[in-house]
Amino acid sequence: MWTLQDAKNRFSAVVEAALAGQPQQVTRRGKPAVVVLSAADYARMQAAATAHRGSFAAHLRAFPAGGALPEDRPAVTPRDVAF
């Protein structure tokens, strides 16, 4: 784990370690801030994250036809509000 100042001073070492397959954590004010990893690792993680996720349009098409609500949903009446 690197402090932000150390990571800035030794950025080449941070990048070399990330390219070697070791993600590098950087802290800012003592708290975890970022992780530096290789572009190949990032692409692999992003592909894995999106592999099981369909498109937003497919998600919307999966809703019930006509936007009908389930039968077991309780009916709610609005309350009177005085202005």
Q: What is the pLDDT of residues 22-78, one digit of tens each?
A: 999 999 999 999 999 999 999 999 888 877 777 888 878 887 766 666 667 677 888
Domain annotation covers residue 64: no
Could you list the residue range(s) of the whole structural domain that residue 27 is in?
A: 2-55
Domain annotation covers residue 34: yes
Angstrom distance (rounded) from CA 62 to CA 53? 13
Say if residues 35 and 17 touch (Cβ distance below 8 Å).
Answer: no
Domain annotation covers residue 78: no
* pLDDT confidence band for 13 (50 / 70 / 90): very high
Domain annotation covers residue 70: no
- For the chain, the domain total comes to 1
Domain annotation covers residue 19: yes
Domain of 37, CATH number, reads: 3.40.1620.10
The reported pLDDT for the residue numbered 4 is: 96
Domain annotation covers residue 41: yes
Angstrom distance (rounded) from CA 22 to CA 69? 49
**DSSP assignments along 10-43, one per residue:** THHHHHHHHHTT--EEEEETTEEEEEE--HHHHH
The reported pLDDT for the residue numbered 25 is: 97
The reported pLDDT for the residue numbered 51 is: 77
